[in-house]
Every structure is written in structure tokens, then in C-alpha cells.
Amino acid sequence: MAGNKPPDLDQIVAMISPLHYRGPDESGVYLDGGVALGQLRLSIIGIDGGTQPIGNENGDLWIVYNGEAFNYLELKDELVAKGHRFSTETDTEVLLHLYEEYGTGCLGRINGQFALAIWDRRKKELFLARDRMGIRPLYYATSASGAFLFASEAKAILAVDATREVDLEALSQVFVFWTTLPGRSLFRGIKELPPGHFMLVGSGSAEPVPYWSIPFHSREESSRLVIDDAVEQLRELLNDAVRLRLRADVPVGAYLSGGLDSSIITTLVARNCRSHLKTFSLGFETSSFDESSPQQEMIRFLETDNRQIQVSNEEIRRLLPETVWHCEKPLLRSSPVPMYMLSGLVRSEGYKVVLSGEGADEILGGYHIFKEAKIRGYWGKEPGSTRRPLLLERLYPYVFRNPSRGRSFLQSFFAVDPQKLQDPFFSHAVRWGSGTKNLGFLSDDCLASLTGYRPVEELAKWLPDGFVDRDLLSKAQVLEMEIFLSNFLLSSQGDRVGMAHSVEMRHPFLDHRVIDFAFRLPAKWKIRGLDEKYLLKRAFMGQIPKSITQRGKQPYRAPIGELFSPEAPADYVDEMLSEERLRDYGYFNPVKMVRLHAKIRNSHPGLASEFENMALIGALTTQILHRQFLATPRVRETNQVRPDRIVYGDTLQVND
């Protein structure tokens, strides 16, 4: 934090204390006139002597940092050859010297996941940066007193800044896109540094500056590729990405879902791991969500030491508020809750680091929405076809479980107007259209405040150059990565629920070299007919069980409608969705929402639509967030952190 009034120790301690779970091992503070930096450490690399903040040799630069630079050993060798001297074995100090050597250009040399802040005492300038895909979060705001505040989570800013109000535009984005757009948070006045951006905060105005974007390669480049060479290159890149992400001074485990992506990563981890591999998996009470059978097949195949946690609908309902507290956004899915439980299991086993398979679906063509776009694209060219739309039933059997939804429903829901084929958002139009309809559950006052605002128009400014010229699959991939991957999967379902139990997730498929390679591939190698991730399956055919590579895609989902059964005990849900509380908080139309709650509670699971379920849990989690962050005078009470290391300018104080 920085501002006109010098920050003091009490203020910075107030900010880091609510985030104690992100770094329970050590804590440190740097104070220098108008600047204060605070850090909570989860010690993984260079455990001894790595307490932050860390300064360079002459004390001109100081860093606080959350994350990992996986190629730090190679970077350190390069910097030592240039004359830099190191006092720790941490990747943190490597990044500090990398910035000293290359300035903002250092970011392109880092293979990692990070949010960092470096204070330059000579320039009186603060450098903030976030990794390419936004795996690590970074928020900032300007307080009423003019202080610039930044933190890994918004609750740290709310702890010292009294401005608390929901940003209604951001709330509308959540209901349309299932999350906020880049740069937004749920709270008015608090922004998130977008993935692949940095900021320089000094005497002038500070604005995010991009240093990386999702790559684009011409069709001519992909036409020169040979599929056998591509298969070999993909194997080598993924193996090296896993090798780098196994660098740690603590044991490393792996998430094993039973799907293709986690099975490949777990196989590569086992191949590169020196010790017996421990894996972690989820099982569900509701059989349609459970993947225990393929999990057991991979466990037997790799002979891993697996730990599984069984997830009940009752536990999801009970732990939803705690999960929302960590996510700081309304949730239109319940899927973060089991992941919150899974990270708790990991921590209880003494592990701090796990590798997972996130990113493969986005970069290599694994999602149903990609295949849906392909089907609808063909259908739009032959609007009279009756066979092509039937393929959609194979993609979404759970959507058509309601017996009242016959073929006429399918035709009307997914119908394609040939003129819409030129829409740059064609791939996501059905999903976002249904989300837009759910805005009708907002209160009259909220709708009046949102008059004239269209979330899709704001999205347009985040699209990369040449977006409209890309093929249909590439455009769909960019939309999924720019919005859903960074702002939901890697956040609410990733970093937030992992770090809630002090567990770091690492994602080999999101190594920037793998991403760049994937976007050089022709679309037909990603989805062959309707066979998703064709090249990935071919690359690992024979290295994992055939039944795993041939198994149909089962997206990770968790129950929603089942949480609201009539048998559920009276609890916070009934209060939060009561007409009185809905009216008090003012976000939703009380009559419509009470009616929706009653419909879903009294229906057999599957009779309510997917989007109705999402509207209800979105409203519930918005109500929960309001109570947690806005309805009370203070952010939830936490034990105050006592910093282990305090640096005043260049004077060090260590607390015993």
C-alpha cells in the first residue's frame, strides 16, 4: 500500500491477517516512508532463509511475491554469469534480480505462475505483475484517502478501506458469463490486474499494460506441420512442463479425476517422480457425478498411493458459505465446494503442492461447447437438417433428462439462424443468451441501474487482434480461456479453494510453451469429427489404459438442484432466500426468487433446467457474499498476524 499519508505497521498487518491461510509458514513486512509491503509465505522452494520481503545487494529493490518461477534455476545461472549475487536459494530472489537486469522485460523470461510487487526505492516506483494465465490473483484499489492498495484477495483491501458496495455491472457479468470479465471484481472500486499484465505505480496515473496474450498463428503455419512430429513434440513439451513443476523442497502430489487430462499428468508425474506418488481424488454420493471407477483403474495402473474423499450433497450445502468466503464471487456452480474439500484432504496428508490437468480442454479442444459450436455451424449451413441437431443430445444428456423436453425443445433451444454464423460470439451465444435471461431475476432497482449496459459489449475490448479472422474453434477457445478459465476454473475452482487450505496447484498444460504449440495446431487435430482432444489422445495412446483414452468426455460437475431437496434441514439457505432477506439486500426480485426456490426444492432433480439451478445458486451465493462482506461493519474477525520479519527502510527487525 502507498499514499499521501504514510502507512503504518498496524494497517499492513490488518491487510495480511485475513489472508493467513495463503501463507501460514512465515510473514514479513517492509516499511519505507510512504510504502508498506506485507507478505505471507507458503514455503515450498528455498525453505530456509526465504522469508520475505527480500532486497537486492544494496537495498534499492524489495520484493513480495506469491507463486513459483519454475525455471528459476536456469534464470539464476544466467544472472550469476552477469555478475548478480544471491543470498538465498529461493526463486523469489531470482525474480528480483531478473527485474533488476531486464526491467519489465523480465516477464517474458519467466515460466511460472505468480503475482509480484517490487518497490524501487530510487525511482519511488512500484512494479506489479501477474502471470500469463492469471493463475495467481492480484487486486488493487485507490482508497478514499488516496492510498494505492493491492493484495492477493479483495478482503485484504476491504479490511482497511471502508468503501463497500457491489458493482452491479460485475454482478450482471457473473449471471451472463458465469464469472466477471477481466479486470473486474464484485466490489465497486476494487479491480483485478488482468492476466498477462503489469503496472508501474509512481507519480503518474497507473494503468495495466499487457505483456502477453493468447497467441494467434496463421493457417499457413499449421499447414506446414506433420502430425507425427506434432505428436512427438506435444509429448516432449508436456513431459518438460511436468518436470519443471515438480521442482520443490517439499513432497508433490497429483489430482486424479479419472479423466484423460489428469490421467496423463499423473502418468508423467509418476515417470518423473523419485518417490512413491500420492494422488488425491473425489467421489460423489450422487452417482451421475461420480468417476470412482476410472479413478481406480488409473490407481491400479500406476500403483499410486491414493486418498479419496466422498462428497455428499449435505456437505456441499453446509460448506458452500465457507467456499464463497474464499472465492469472493457469486457462484453459479457448486463445483468449487468439492475442490475446497479436496484441498483440505491434501493438507491433512501433509502436502502443500499438487499437479492437475486444468487447461487441456481449453487449448486442445476438449469441451462440449466447442463441439456444440461445430454442430451448430454445420446446422446453420443446412438449416433444414434433422439429423445434425440430434447430435446435441449426445453432448448434453443431462439437459434433456426432463421428459417434457422433446425434440421441439432441442430445435427451439439450439436453433441456428444462418445470419448468426458471422457473429464473433457464435460459439457461446446459446450459453450467454440463457444467462442473459436470468438477469430477469434481478430486482427492479438493479435492472434500472443497469439500463443501457450490455456485458457483451464490454467483452469486445478484451478480444485479441485478428480475433474475427480466426476459425470457429479458435474463437471459441479464446473466449473460454479469456473468461471462464482465468476467472473461474483457475480462481474459484483453483487458487482460491486450494490456498484456503494452503495448497498450491500447478498446471502443466498451461505452460506458455504448451499453449503456444497448441494454437499452432489445425482445428481438425484437436476435434476430429466429434472426437475431442484427438492429438492428445494419439500422443499418449499406449501410455495410459485404452479405456481412459476411449472414454467419452465427462465434464467435472457437482450437484446443484439436489442441494435444495425438501429433506434438507432448515438452515441459512432458507433465511438467505426468504422474501424478507431478499428484499433487505435488494439484488433480486423477491417474488420471482422465492417462486424459483420453491420450484427447485419441490421438483425431482433434473426437472428444473440447468440455468434455473444456476440462477438459484447464483442468487444464494450473492446473498451470502453480501452478508459476509457488506452487511457487517468489518470483514470477518481473524487472528492478527505477528510478522516474523520487519524491514524499516534498510534496517531489519526479526521477531522471535
On whether both 29 and 92 belong to a single domain, the answer is yes
CA dihedral 227, 228, 232, 234 (to 10 degrees): 10
Predicted pLDDT at 605: 65
Could you tell me the pLDDT band of residue 525, with boundaries at 50, 70 and 90?
very high
Residue 407 has pLDDT above 70, yes or no: no
Predicted pLDDT at 146: 87
Average pLDDT (25-34) is 92
Predicted pLDDT at 350: 96
How far is Cα 3 from Cα 116, in angstroms, rounded to an integer?
A: 19
On whether both 648 and 513 belong to a single domain, the answer is no
On whether both 27 and 126 belong to a single domain, the answer is yes
On whether both 94 and 198 belong to a single domain, the answer is yes
How far is Cα 321 from Cα 344, in angstroms, rounded to an integer?
A: 16
- Closest residue by Cα to residue 136 from 150, 122, 123: 150
Cell of 222: 499449421
> How many structural domains does the chain have?
2
Residue 599 domain-assigned (yes or no) = no
Residues 6+ apart with CB under 8 A from 328: 153, 154, 155, 185, 186, 496, 625, 629
Residue 357 domain-assigned (yes or no) = yes
On whether both 355 and 248 belong to a single domain, the answer is yes
Instruction: Write out the DSSP string of 378-426.
Output: HHHHSTT-SSGGGHHHHH-TTTT-STT--HHHHHHHH---GGGGG-TTG
Residue 190 domain-assigned (yes or no) = yes
Predicted pLDDT at 608: 82
Residue 318 domain-assigned (yes or no) = yes
Predicted pLDDT at 428: 93
Contact in structure between 390 and 289 (CB atoms under 8 Å): no
Residue that is last in its domain, among 516, 550, 584: 550
Contact in structure between 37 and 62 (CB atoms under 8 Å): yes
On whether both 27 and 119 belong to a single domain, the answer is yes
β-strands 26-32, 35-41: how paired? antiparallel
On whether both 172 and 279 belong to a single domain, the answer is no
Predicted pLDDT at 149: 95
Tens-digit pLDDT profile for residues 491-515: 999 999 999 999 999 999 999 999 9
In this structure, of 11-20, 77-86, 373-382, 406-415, the range with the lowest mean pLDDT score is: 406-415
Could you tell me the pLDDT band of residue 249, with boundaries at 50, 70 and 90?
very high
- Closest residue by Cα to residue 196 from 86, 250, 115: 115
On whether both 177 and 248 belong to a single domain, the answer is no
On whether both 64 and 161 belong to a single domain, the answer is yes
Contact in structure between 266 and 279 (CB atoms under 8 Å): yes
CATH code of residue 319: 3.40.50.620
On whether both 42 and 131 belong to a single domain, the answer is yes
Phi, psi dihedral angles at 556 (to 5 degrees): -70, 120
Residue that is last in its domain, among 527, 550, 573: 550
How far is Cα 587 from Cα 447, in angstroms, rounded to an integer?
A: 9
Tens-digit pLDDT profile for residues 59-113: 999 999 999 999 999 999 999 999 999 999 999 999 999 999 999 999 999 999 9
Tens-digit pLDDT profile for residues 110-161: 999 999 999 999 999 999 999 999 999 999 999 888 899 999 999 999 999 8
Predicted pLDDT at 405: 56
Contact in structure between 282 and 342 (CB atoms under 8 Å): yes
Tens-digit pLDDT profile for residues 580-614: 999 999 999 999 999 999 999 988 766 788 899 99
- Closest residue by Cα to residue 366 from 228, 487, 237, 518: 518
Predicted pLDDT at 46: 87
Q: Which residues of 210-248 are buried (b: 16+ CB within 10 A; e: fewer)?
A: ebbbbebeeeeebeeeeeeebbebbbebbebbbebbbbb
What residue numbers bound the domain in which 273 lies? Answer: 219-364+478-550
Residue 408 has pLDDT above 70, yes or no: no
Could you tell me the pLDDT band of residue 421, with boundaries at 50, 70 and 90?
confident
Contact in structure between 512 and 213 (CB atoms under 8 Å): no
Residue that is last in its domain, among 530, 550, 570: 550
How far is Cα 28 from Cα 40, in angstroms, rounded to an integer?
A: 7
On whether both 189 and 244 belong to a single domain, the answer is no
Average pLDDT (564-578) is 93
Tens-digit pLDDT profile for residues 614-625: 999 999 999 999
How far is Cα 213 from Cα 268, in angstroms, rounded to an integer?
A: 28
How far is Cα 536 from Cα 411, in angstroms, rounded to an integer?
A: 33
0.75 surpassed by pTM: yes
Residue 294 domain-assigned (yes or no) = yes
Secondary structure element (H or E) that encloses residue 580, with its range = helix 579-585
Tens-digit pLDDT profile for residues 278-307: 999 999 998 889 999 999 999 999 999 999
Q: Where are the alpha helices (DSSP H) in 254-312?
A: 260-272, 292-302
Tens-digit pLDDT profile for residues 157-201: 999 987 789 999 999 999 999 999 999 999 999 999 999 999 999
Predicted pLDDT at 1: 47
How far is Cα 442 from Cα 589, in angstroms, rounded to an integer?
A: 5
Residue 419 domain-assigned (yes or no) = no
How far is Cα 374 from Cα 381, in angstroms, rounded to an integer?
A: 11
Could you tell me the pLDDT band of residue 656, with boundaries at 50, 70 and 90?
very low
CATH code of residue 35: 3.60.20.10
On whether both 35 and 174 belong to a single domain, the answer is yes
Residue 628 domain-assigned (yes or no) = no
Predicted pLDDT at 488: 97
Amino acid at 64: V
Residue 449 domain-assigned (yes or no) = no
